[in-house]
Chain A
Amino acid sequence: DGGITQSPKYLFRKEGQNVTLSCEQNLNHDAMYWYRQDPGQGLRLIYYSQIVNDFQKGDIAEGYSVSREKKESFPLTVTSAQKNPTAFYLCASSIGTAPSAEQYFGPGTRLTVT
Chain B
Amino acid sequence: AQSVTQLGSHVSVSEGALVLLRCNYSSSVPPYLFWYVQYPNQGLQLLLKYTSAATLVKGINGFEAEFKKSETSFHLTKPSAHMSDAAEYFCAVSVSEVGNEKLTFGTGTRLTIIP
Q: Which B residues have a C-beta under 8 Å from some C-beta of A?
A: 9, 32, 34, 36, 41-46, 49, 51, 90, 94-96, 101-103, 105-108
Nearest Cβ on chain B to A10's Cβ, whole angstroms = 9
Contact digits for A80-114, partner B, Cβ 8 Å, 1 yes 0 no: 00000000001010000111101111111010000
Interface size on A, as a range, is 20 to 34
Q: A40-B9, A100-B51 are in contact. Are A90 and B44 (CB under 8 A)?
A: yes
Q: Which A residues have a C-beta under 8 Å from some C-beta of B?
A: 4, 9, 40-45, 48, 50, 58, 90, 92, 97-100, 102-108, 110
Q: Which residues of A contact B43 (CB under 8 A)?
A: 4, 90, 92, 105-108
Identify B46's interface contact among A40, A102, A106, A110, CB under 8 A.
Answer: A102
Q: Which residues of A contact B101 (CB under 8 A)?
A: 50, 97-99
Q: Which residues of A contact B46 (CB under 8 A)?
A: 102-104
Top 10 nearest A-B pairs (CB, nearest first) are: A105-B43, A99-B94, A97-B101, A42-B105, A42-B107, A43-B105, A100-B51, A105-B44, A99-B32, A99-B96
